[in-house]
Structure 1
């Protein structure tokens, strides 16, 4: 389910996914297939990890990457979940072929 809320989506971002909801900053973004696919990848990741563990791992990895790169943007882009989503967001068929273990490949990098 997609909601539009410029207040829930953090500054500098256009979308946020918290299972089972997708929050977009602007209504026009609903037509952006690449962004929607990116957020759907996050929905799948969250379902596979039963939501709460996803956010624990995401937060822990972000802190590690922030220490490693000393840059908020670089740390964010290098979280394994984000790497998977960014690398595959243009492949609109990705979720039909993705296996459960795909995220492990991105986590090990």
Structure 2
């Protein structure tokens, strides 16, 4: 995956979001937040390997299962396998160079 188009969306309530094939950020300065952009690039890779739509279905199902388990939005969100992989590796800017396909499976 090469360079992604980063789009500024000031109406967003979150700092960033990967919406294949784009990375959306809340404001211009976030375009330069390397950890945030790496986090979203990890999500783009996850989306690509699942052919996009199944990613969103699995993401939602994992969130709903976690919500049932933990009863809190933040805890449910942070325990989504895709988020665990992205948060655990967002500081490692070379992670995607060595990442194996479907690495998010290790976080279930």
TM range (shorter): over 0.9
1:58-73 residue pairs with structure 2 within 5 A?
A: 58-73=59-74
The alignment partner of 2:10 has SS state of coil
Alpha-carbon distance, 1:15 to partner:
0.5
**Root mean square deviation, CA, Å:** 0.8
TM-score under structure 1 length normalisation: 0.92
Q: 2:6 aligns with which of 2, 7, 21?
A: 2
CA contact (8 A) 2:46 2:102 kept: no
* Unaligned 5+ runs, structure 1: none
Alpha-carbon distance, 1:26 to partner:
0.7
Alpha-carbon distance, 1:104 to partner:
1.4
Alpha-carbon distance, 1:101 to partner:
3.2
TM-score under structure 2 length normalisation: 0.93
The whole-number CA distance in structure 1 between the counterparts of 2:26 and 2:50 is: 26
The whole-number CA distance in structure 2 between the counterparts of 1:33 and 1:81 is: 19
Q: How many correspondences in the alignment? A: 104
Equivalent residue, structure 1, for 2:31: 30
Structure 1 segments (4+ residues) deviating >4 Å: none
Equivalent residue, structure 2, for 1:51: 52
Alpha-carbon distance, 1:83 to partner:
0.2
The alignment partner of 2:93 has SS state of coil
1:57-89 Cα offsets, whole Å, 9 max, x none, are 000110110111111001000000000000000
